[in-house]
Amino acid sequence: MQIPEGLFLVTGGAGFVGSHIVERLLREGRRVRVIDNFSTGRRENLAPLLRAYPTTLELLEADIRDEAMVRRAMDGATHVVHQAALASVQRSVTDPKPTHDVNMTGTLLLLEAAREQKVRRFVFAGSSSVYGDQPELPKHEEMAPRPRSPYALSKLVGESYCQLFFELYGLETVTLRYFNVFGPRQTPDSQYAAVIPLFARAVVKGETPEIFGDGEQTRDFTFIENVVEANLLALTRPGVGGQVVNIGCGDRTSLLQLLRTIARLRGAEVAPSFQPPRAGDVRDSQASIEAARRLLGYEPKVNLEEGLRRTLDWFLEPSAA
């Protein structure tokens, strides 16, 4: 894969996924600008990169809802990797307006600025949540979306805007529908944290992990390295403007299976605490990745168990969350 020269704008670049993309681009010798308001992003994710790449990494502390700052961030950019979002189903159910403002209005402002800047490629972080709770598995891109939360709806609107900007203005957009990304730097500290960092911290610290529902619900857990590779492919692959593709591993694992695997890797015995199911959560999720293989040349390189091993190793580091 040959990554083109240029200036890569990464929105939400201090976040979990964004910081990994930033690191990979910098290692490939590319110039990167990050825009992040640090509402969920973490300064420690970027601090070592700012020290290591002082001439090729630029940080702009700003909100993507600020139109003037978005235009400033876009100035000179050739490629955009849009990761900034309020990324929680439960947060959106509790308080939908901030999710709307960031995920819909912020995305529109970025698309407008990218169109004016004549950006070559705009990659958008979509979400498997747009499929909702449809029973058909695996989820494929031809299925009609059925969002069950304001977050899912906001992601659907974002990807629709991306397709529209490609059709109306020729802005080359690609949407990657992520399936349950996990890995190092994913914080368990928020009340809206994803399940793997919560399970990992509980097992490492000898605490009791919580499961909402019966634990038989399934997800396609996807290690961060696979997602970073998918973003680079989406930035470089010709002829994929306007496309929407799933990014997962093409497999599914129940929460109880997941917890048992984490416990086995740590040599621990774990008994979860079961809580009532949460509004907006889907029962089962699994990606069809045939379109990603065909259009992007994507292939997941790190399986679930290896990804969990690397994630647990990170949680054992003194600097981990």
Structure-block tokens of residue 45: 């994710």
In 3-state terms, what secondary structure has residue 206?
Answer: coil
pLDDT at 78: 98
What confidence category does residue 278 fall into, taking pLDDT thresholds of 50, 70 and 90?
confident
Structure-block tokens of residue 75: 């100035």
Residue range 104-110: mean pLDDT, rounded = 98
Predicted confidence (pLDDT) per residue in 142-164, tens digit: 999 999 999 999 999 999 999 99
**Would you say residue 321 has pLDDT above 60?**
no
**Would you say residue 33 has pLDDT above 90?**
yes
Dihedral, CA atoms, 107, 110, 115, 121, nearest 10 degrees? Answer: -80
Least confident of 94-98, 185-189, 220-224, 247-251: 185-189
pTM: 0.95
Which residue segments constitute the domains of the chain, with CATH numbers given? Answer: 7-182+224-248+288-302 (3.40.50.720)
Distance CA 292, CA 11 (A): 23
User: Taking phi first (over 0 means left), then psi (-120 to 50 degrees means alpha), and beta for anything else, what does residue 84 get?
Assistant: beta
> Which of 308, 299, 184, 311 has the alpha carbon at shortest distance from 247?
299
The residue assigned the tokens 């958008």 is 124
pLDDT at 160: 98
